[in-house]
Structure 1
Amino acid sequence: MTKFTTLNGERPVALVTGATGGLGEQICRTLALAGCAVVAGYRSSADAAHALVAQLDGEGHCALAAPVTDTAALARLADDVATRYNRCDVLVNCAGTTRFVAHDDLDGMPDALIDDVLATNVRGPFAMVRALRPLLDRSTLAGGAVVVNISSIAAQTAMGSNVIYCASKAALDNLTKSLARALAPRIRVVSVSPGLVDTEFVKSMDTAWRDEQAARTPLGRLADPQEIAQAVLVAARDLRFTTGCVLPVDGGRPLR
């Protein structure tokens, strides 16, 4: 694995929201193994976040509260990161929420659920960038700091857990492009867009449904969480001239 350091030879500081989820945990592990000091951001699962940090490769990691819908709490998070590290090199917006609601069941999407999905999946990443921007500006990564937004193939296909979830991920991809333009050249912004990922949550669902989803994918299987984490690492470490784009990790799903 290529060593990941700043231009000063320091360990990059990477903050991952939603760190205790199936994707977030793997992203934290991969970034730590690559040489990052990882800040595992959590909303309510403090114990799980601290347990994860204790298992990460290397040193300098910590777990901090990062409730992405609470702007005041994010200001405190930024202050804590500044005190501990004085900068942030990589921000991974992995926190997200949804609920399975049939697309034709419009009454099954109450306002409270709509607001929660949009606040978490769209306003949350924007609020994180807004809070961390001064620390991202201090990065000495080659190519500048990088924000990686975890999107979804649902943004393109409009097929997913519910209508508003699909809309939220389309909005996130648009936000990626707008922020990339606004924050260049100091900060790069990219989306990593998975298809269905075989997390523990997905593995707990109906086997016939999972098999059907795999069969609809040209490569014949679901994504592994490690493959999404590797895409995040590549976007942060290797794609230094890439910004404002969506990187698909979907097994070719839109082809069918």
Structure 2
Amino acid sequence: MQKTALVTGGSGGLGTAICHKLADSGYQVILTYNSNQSSADQVVSALSGEGHVAFQLNVAHSQAIEELAKQVAEISPQLDLLVNCAGMTKFVAHSDLQGLSDELFDQIFQVNVRAPFAMVRECESLLREAKGCVVNITSIAAQTAMGSNIAYCASKSAAENMTRSLARALSPDIRVLAVAPGLVDTEFVKGLDDSWRNQQEQSTPLKRLANDDEVANAVFAAAELLTFSTGTTLAVDGGRPLGN
């Protein structure tokens, strides 16, 4: 029986790479997008194999997540892999406390913490049927507390803590892991200031940034290779916490 994966935020940079890796490995991929249907349709059409589909989803709305789980159940009686890749942030200097409003703080936690929990909650029965795996995409910011803003860093730390709690709560049927990228050399990052980007590279022991395929490979490894691992975080950061 063909395995099925659900990838939230599957039309984004990292999400697209993850979808391609899974499709190339024989998965039927169900991906979600927030607003850009055209981009999502392009991702689906470019995936190898058949049966892939995209659904619109605002992960901040738990009722919408509940409806999505019903749609997934109509496609497959079991869910082998759930990848919580959807996330959000906004650049606010850590020293600018007034710039981080309550509204933005709450929105970041809704999307980066509550939504992954709601996804697992609504897909639990499908995951149990498959004895499946959940992979939460977190960030090096969970460890370093350096990132786009204070709330973002805190949300990723919370997501990793939640990963451990869910791994314990859902064992032995469902494994739950996190993949924590460092700075990934996406098209967005390539468009940033060269001197800043070069500084980040030189502060990383491997002297380069991650690419999105390396993050996708870590997700695949969590699902298919590290079958005796749960409740842990896989770092894809080039050893950045060891740097200056």
Q: Same fold (TM over 0.5)?
A: yes
User: Among 205, 210, 217, which residue is 1:223 paired with?
Assistant: 210
Residue 181 (structure 2) pairs with residue 190 (structure 1): no
User: Among 72, 83, 87, which residue is 1:92 paired with?
Assistant: 83
Alpha-carbon distance in 1 for matches of 2:67, 2:115: 15
User: Among 182, 198, 219, which residue is 1:232 paired with?
Assistant: 219
Alpha-carbon distance in 1 for matches of 2:38, 2:70: 22
Residue 12 (structure 2) pairs with residue 25 (structure 1): no
Alpha-carbon distance in 1 for matches of 2:122, 2:38: 24
Alignment partner, residue 50 of structure 1? 41
Paired letter, 1:211: N
Alignment partner, residue 129 of structure 1? 120
How far apart are residue 161 of structure 1 and its match? 0.7
Alpha-carbon distance in 1 for matches of 2:66, 2:108: 22
TM-score w.r.t. length of structure 1: 0.93
Alpha-carbon distance in 1 for matches of 2:132, 2:87: 22
Unaligned runs of 5+ in 2: none
User: Among 126, 146, 164, which residue is 1:159 paired with?
Assistant: 146
Paired letter, 1:198: D
Paired letter, 2:127: L
How far apart are residue 208 of structure 1 and its match? 1.1
1:66-122 Cα deviation digits (max 9, x unpaired): 321111111111111111112211000000001111111101101111111110000
State the 4+ residue runs in structure 1 displaced beyond 6 angstroms. none
Alpha-carbon distance in 1 for matches of 2:46, 2:155: 33
Alpha-carbon distance in 2 for matches of 1:73, 1:45: 17
Secondary structure at 2:68 match in 1: helix
Unaligned runs of 5+ in 1: 1-9
- The alignment of Structure 1 onto Structure 2 pairs a total of residues equal to 243
How far apart are residue 207 of structure 1 and its match? 1.1
| Superposed counterparts of 1:56-205, under 5 Å | 56-139=47-130, 144-205=131-192
How far apart are residue 145 of structure 1 and its match? 0.4
Secondary structure at 1:113 match in 2: helix
Residue 240 (structure 2) pairs with residue 249 (structure 1): no
Alpha-carbon distance in 1 for matches of 2:184, 2:145: 17
Secondary structure at 1:138 match in 2: helix
Paired letter, 1:189: V
Alignment partner, residue 5 of structure 1? none
Root-mean-square deviation (CA, aligned residues, Å) is 0.8
TM-score w.r.t. length of structure 2: 0.98
Deviates more, 1:60-69 or 1:29-38: 60-69
